[in-house]
Structure 1
Amino acid sequence: MKKFYSNGKLLLTGEYVVLDGAKALAIPTKYGQSLSIAETDTNHIKWQSLDHKGNVWFKSDLLLNTDRFLATSQKDETTQTLVKLLSEANKLNPSFLAGTKGLKVTSKLDFPRNWGLGSSSTLINNIAQWAGVDAYQLLWNAFSGSGYDIACAQHDHPIIYQLKDKMPHVEKTLFDPTFKDRLYFVHLNEKQNSREGIAHYRKAKALLAPFIQQIDEVTEQFIKSRSLNDLKMAIELHERLIADLVKLPTVKERLFPDYFGSIKSLGAWGGDFVLATGDETTTNYFKEKGFHTVIPYKDMVL
């Protein structure tokens, strides 16, 4: 049996503008996704995906042909996405699965599917490892994105991620704040719906150059923060810059205007996790507001 594993991800800085070359601070999480592959004699790929509790949330039976993968009956979006990923991996490495009679494949998440920690990126990176292909190329051939999530899947430490001439550049960085016991990740009870923000962002592209330079500087401020107050200043500056760019209110303005600490959206605005500075009262504050998933920094970050 072959086994692969990829880390989940969180984007601390550079949302939106990472697509256009800004420096982004990203961190791999303790949560990720595994993939195990066992050979069979069935002439099929029997695929099942398990959630963090071990329950099957997706099953598919793909006919293993000489040069393509065919869903025998399922035409749902998840099956078609899986077929596309396997087909693109096969294009990148034509020897992928050559001579294979059949397979039982199991993927398993460490985190709830609605957390937004990279259920897709961890799957893509696992399939790329299995197929012996470049994970960034697999991502871009099958879908789109900056690729920072692939970098997190592959690295066990905080990184600065940047696209240069459409090529990924990953730099290990030291981001282990002494005040991390004052940092919390809060789930907003919904998956991100970033369409509105992306639409405004695309309209603003002609004005990007100064924004990118400012976000690069704020990313450096994050990394160099020596106190909680330093980080709070960086968070508030970053939130204001992106709010001006995408023409949306900050998450604090929208949901938590009475919160005493600083709050930062992570990734595209609209859902998933936020980063909050706080203290021993933070968990109760968010739970009283109906947000029950509050994870201390040390319990989330790899």
Structure 2
Amino acid sequence: MSGEYVAVHGAKVLALPTKLGQRMKMQELTGSEVIWTSLDHQGKKWFEAEIDLMAFDVTHTSDEQIGKYLRKIFKACINNNSEFLSHWKKYKIEHRLEFPREWGLGSSSTLIYNMASWADVNPFHLYFDIESGSGYDIACAGSDGPLLYQFNQDSLSIDDVDFMPSFADSLYFVPLGKKADSRQAVKKTLNAPPDKSLVRKISEMSEKVLELKSLSAFEQWVHEHEKLIGDYIKEPTAQKSYFKDYWGAVKSLGAWHGDMVLVTSAKSMSDTAAYFKGLGYPTLIPFRELVL
């Protein structure tokens, strides 16, 4: 909800776990390989791979880049727990999304969290062995409610908070229909760190948003947050890019110009849905339906 692009630099951020996630099912068989299948929310296969556990090679994959990433996760699991996969067996894995792939929702991090659970390793250790982000979405994967998260090089701070504001019925999520590359977003900011004043300001705003009592105050908060982050990453806001004439506020989530946005609306849900549908965005998700 807050602090995208600056979470990795130590800003305190408000993170909202979602009701929809990913489920992993594992079956042990005779052999020495991993047979991996990824299914979308409709049960359709979108990725498959086979990993030979003797040589630890990807012997088959429908997507070479994803296959290499999956192998990387398995190797990191073994580095964190030498007993993992130490007994020669064949593992048939089915990993299923509960939401459309283009929604994002921290899909890579949830995969890492699920793998950490299977391998019996610390999910944060596994994440930081693989990724260079802040790890806030790992915290979300293991939480059943909103939290304030702060990453530092030598420590993590995670505090459970309440965030279901009185104006929640005026908040919606709009999928933009394209998957954003969060790794590239992180890489971009690591090469150009923000001023410490921006990190402090975003940290303050992450706490302030928990106290807002009105939709108008929240909209002001959104506009200020969008301007601060937009000025830092030198990109136009989602509202300026896609919804210039929209009557409410539009909050980018995660890597900008991808996945989905949060929007406010003082109008009815039907009027709000009609506006976005008219621009080619047919899905409007009420805040309460998605956020834990």
Say whether the fold is shared (TM-score over 0.5).
yes
Relative to structure 1, is the Cα distance of residues 176 and 287 closer, same or farther in structure 2, using a 3 angstrom cutoff?
Answer: same
SS at match of 2:16: strand
Does residue 208 of structure 2 align to residue 221 of structure 1? yes
Contact 1:188 1:271 in 2 (8 A): yes
Match of residue 27, structure 2, among 17, 23, 38: 38
Whether contact under 8 Å (1:198, 1:246) holds in the other structure is no
- The answer to whether the 8 Å contact 1:194/1:270 transfers is no
Pick closer, same or farther for the CA change 1:134–1:196 going to 2, 3 Å.
Answer: closer
Cα shift at 1:213: 1.2
2:235 counterpart residue number: 248
1:8 alignment partner in structure 2: none
**Are positions 1:106 and 2:100 aligned together?**
no
Gaps of 5+ in 1: 1-11
Counterpart mapping for 1:80-99 below 5 A: 80-99=68-87
Equivalent position of 1:59 in the other structure: 48
Report if the CA contact (8 A) 2:31-2:88 is conserved.
no
Q: Which residue does 1:261 correspond to in 2?
A: 248
**Separation of aligned partners in 2, 1:122 and 1:193:** 15
| TM-score in terms of structure 2 length | 0.93
Shift of residue 243 of structure 1? 1.4
Take 1:197 and 1:92, find their aligned partners in 2: how far apart are those partners? 27
Cα distance change on mapping 1:295 and 1:73 into 2, 3 Å: closer
Task: Confirm whether residue 17 of structure 1 aligns to residue 3 of structure 2.
Answer: no
Matched to 1:18, the amino acid is: A
Q: Aligned equivalents of 2:201 and 2:89: distance in 1?
A: 54
1:72 aligns with 2:59: yes
| 1:197 and 1:246 in contact (8 A); partners too | no
Residue 222 of structure 1 and its aligned partner are, at CA, apart by 1.2
Letter in 2 for 1:227: S
Q: 1:283 to 1:166 in 2, by over 3 A?
A: farther
Deviations 1:29-61 (A, max 9, x none): 111001111110122211111111111111112
Count of matched residue positions in the alignment of Structure 1 and Structure 2: 288
Name the aligned partner's letter for residue 249 of structure 2.
S
Mapped to 2, the partners of 1:50 and 1:86 lie a distance apart of: 19
Identity %: 41
Question: Offset at 1:202?
Answer: 5.0
Alignment of 1:166-245 (within 5 A): 166-192=154-180, 201-202=189-190, 204-205=192-193, 207-245=194-232
Distance 2:191 2:10 in 1: 17
The answer to whether the 8 Å contact 2:132/2:186 transfers is no
Question: Is the Cα contact below 8 Å between 1:159 and 1:171 reproduced in 2?
Answer: yes
SS at match of 2:86: coil
Of residues 260, 273, 287 in structure 2, which corresponds to 1:283?
273
Could you tell me which runs of 5 or more consecutive residues in structure 2 were left unpaired when the two chains were aligned. none
Contact (CA 8 Å) 1:197, 1:248: kept in 2 or not?
A: no
- Provide the secondary structure at the position in 1 that maps to 2:229: helix
> Equivalent residue of 1:149, what SS?
helix
> Residue in 2 aligned with 1:299?
289
> Aligned in 2, Cα 1:129/1:201: closer, same or farther, shift over 3 Å?
closer
RMSD between superposed Cα atoms in Å:
1.9
Q: Give the corresponding residue for 1:5.
A: none
Does structure 1 retain, via aligned residues, the 8 Å contact 2:36–2:92?
Answer: yes
Aligned partner (choices 121, 126, 135) of residue 114 of structure 2: 126
- Which amino acid in 2 is paired with 1:31? L
